[in-house]
Amino acid sequence: MEKICVAVRVRPLVTEKNSDGTFWKVEDNRISLHKSLGTPISGVSYAFDYVFDQDCRNETVYELLTKDIIHASVEGFNGTAFAYGQTSSGKTFTMNGSENDPGIIHRAVKDIFTKIQMTNDREFLIRVSYMEIYNEEINDLFAVENQKLQIHESLERGIFVAGLREEIVSSAEQVLKLVQSGEVNRHVGATNMNVRSSRSHTIFRMVIESKKTDARSSGEDDAIRVSVLNLVDLAGSERIAKTGAGGVRLKEGKYINKSLMVLGNVINKLSEGAKQRGHIPYRDSKLTRILQPALGGNAKTSIICTVAPDEVHIEETKGTLQFASRAKRITNCVQVNEVLITVDAALLKRQKLEIEELRRKLQGSRAEVLEQEILKLRNDMLNYELEREKLSTELEEERKSHKERDQCIREQQMKIDNPNSSVTFSDSDRKSSQGQVFEIQCLKEESNGSHCMGQEDAFRTPCFKALPNAYVAKRSTYRRQTEDSPLPDTFSNIADEDTWLKMNKGYIADLDSLHMTPARKVQSFPSTDITPVSIFSSIIPPTIYVRN
């Protein structure tokens, strides 16, 4: 069993002095509130593992508070370090630092790789990830497209965030570049208390796997150590009256305070002892759910609480110190995380096999040649797709054309096979033949060579109802054709356009009542000029319909 290591760091004063003379005084590992004359106020004094004053640098905080946890993570222990406090109290500066005074994250990364280089009997594989909890939603800071991620738990991996990108790294410089790129994607905003206020909790995670290099030769178990190191920068608790937040900032502040309240409840439950604690509400917040192993679980944990010594923040400082006092009573069960394997289940071994396989492939072929061949195949595939689409379009047009042609042939065949049907033309035919008059004539009976005759006493003229857009003409008497025929050779010259317009409005022209033409010999119509649309029997007097 091991207790959580808790430290307090006091931020430098923003104002020159307090109006009533009260001030916070740091003495060794104790911080207390004093009156103007130096008399301590009763009940406002707290003791911790470490208390850092305003002049303390990040290097001192790291060396005393978190360096041991970092080294233990290389040896297979889980570790967590996070900063807690009110807004604008120096949490982000403690974790990230500045160019002149790097923070805990930068120093821990460099220290881990230095420790690995000094360890000769083990080989390591390191993976890093960076996430933020913004408005109770988990977002990936390495891949901005990975948002609203979910938390899962398994026997092999424990508690983890599904879909979170993990980068395999081999140097401290590579890790620091990733951290810098992730910081750009973090949600920050301006309030009355801080120009660059963190609006989300961030968790930088390193998974360290290690294995003995001579395990097989020495006959020892093929055990792999897997440790998880969490470096957490929490958003600060805030009062709306002081920050002046509104709109989006107000919504962000509500979620921040809610998650910090749940964290405080978890700390309270854990500090009560195993017999009295009862249910621990880890699942009430995603922050406490992810940090569950670090709070009363299998991890070495250190908490640094930052406070502002200004008089206006006395109440917030008291709340932070009370939180730290309760956290100091929590104990964790720490042990080395070793995984015994008999199959290739560990990520370290899988990555090693994949690297060897890729190395063999690259040795047998040139990467540039393969890349050119892949590009050529992609271009050929693209051209094939374009050609296929073109042929498909042409085939579809050809099918439509054949379908229209077959429909036209069927209509003509129906007109020829059914002599009692009216002869009409479609709108498209009428438009194409506008200004032309089609002629229809009864063909002579070829068997006896006689003219088409209609016997009035033996046969009656069929009664056909004219279509709405058809021209109508009829004969009043049916007799054998004489030499003085009222019809000219070509039916198209019988009337002008105005006469046909009247016919179209319902006027029925009696062909036998038209003015007789001078006598002349009837001539047969040339076969090339006649387009028979309907053929009637020689014994049925014809009724003629001509569509405009």
- DSSP secondary structure, 235-263, as one string: PPB--HHHH---THHHHHHHHHHHHHHHH
pLDDT value at residue 486: 52
Q: Which residues contact 119 (CB under 8 A, 6 or more apart)?
A: 74, 210
Assess contact for 51 and 28: CB atoms under 8 A: yes
| Three-state secondary structure string covering 499-540 | HHHHHHCCCCEEHHHCCCCCCCCCCCCCCCCCCCCCCCCCCC
Render the burial of 475-487: b for 16+ CB within 10 Å, e for the rest. Answer: beeeeeeeeeeee
Q: Which residues contact 224 (CB under 8 A, 6 or more apart)?
A: 209, 210, 211, 338, 339, 341, 346, 348, 349
Assess contact for 480 and 451: CB atoms under 8 A: yes
pLDDT value at residue 355: 77
Q: Which residues contact 363 (CB under 8 A, 6 or more apart)?
A: none
Q: Which residue has the tokens 């070793």?
A: 338
Question: Is residue 81 classed as helix, strand or coil in its secondary structure?
Answer: strand
| Three-state secondary structure string covering 83-109 | EEEECCCCHHHHHHECCCCECHHHHHH
Distance in angstroms (rounded) separating the CA atoms of residues 416 and 230? 91
- Measure Cα distances from 460 to 170, 418, 471 in Å: 107, 19, 22
Question: Is residue 132 classed as helix, strand or coil in its secondary structure?
Answer: strand
Q: Which residue has the tokens 């939180």?
A: 323
- Measure Cα distances from 331 to 3, 200, 270, 294 in Å: 4, 27, 8, 10
- DSSP secondary structure, 111-124, as one string: HHHHHHHH--SEEE
The DSSP 8-state label assigned to residue 451 in this structure reads P
pLDDT tens, per residue, the chain with 548 residues:
789 999 999 998 876 555 566 788 888 899 998 887 778 888 889 999 999 999 999 999 999 999 999 999 999 999 999 999 999 899 999 999 998 999 999 999 999 999 999 998 889 999 999 999 999 999 999 999 999 999 999 887 788 999 999 999 999 999 999 999 999 999 998 888 888 888 999 999 999 999 888 755 555 556 788 999 999 999 988 888 888 878 888 899 899 999 999 999 999 999 887 667 778 899 999 999 999 988 988 999 999 999 998 888 888 999 999 999 999 999 898 888 877 654 445 566 667 767 777 777 776 656 666 777 777 887 888 888 888 888 988 998 899 899 999 999 988 888 888 765 444 444 444 444 444 433 334 333 433 444 434 444 444 444 444 444 444 555 545 444 544 445 444 444 455 556 666 666 555 555 555 555 555 554 444 444 444 444 333 344 444 444 44
Distance in angstroms (rounded) separating the CA atoms of residues 230 and 349? 24
Assess contact for 104 and 62: CB atoms under 8 A: yes
Q: Backbone phi, then psi, for 386, in 5-degree steps?
A: -65, -45
pLDDT value at residue 266: 93
In one-letter notation, the amino acid at residue 241 is A
pTM of structure: 0.62
The DSSP 8-state label assigned to residue 212 in this structure reads E
Q: Which residues contact 543 (CB under 8 A, 6 or more apart)?
A: 461, 462, 464, 474
Distance in angstroms (rounded) separating the CA atoms of residues 270 and 18? 36
In this structure, what token pair is assigned to residue 506?
Answer: 């319902």
Distance in angstroms (rounded) separating the CA atoms of residues 500 and 472? 9
Q: Backbone phi, then psi, for 180, in 5-degree steps?
A: -65, -40
Distance in angstroms (rounded) separating the CA atoms of residues 351 and 451? 102
Q: How many CA atoms lie within 13 A of 321 on its CB side?
A: 26
Distance in angstroms (rounded) separating the CA atoms of residues 201 and 179? 15
Assess contact for 470 and 427: CB atoms under 8 A: no
pLDDT value at residue 378: 79
Torsion sign across C-alpha atoms 170, 174, 180, 182 = negative
Q: Which residues contact 386 (CB under 8 A, 6 or more apart)?
A: none
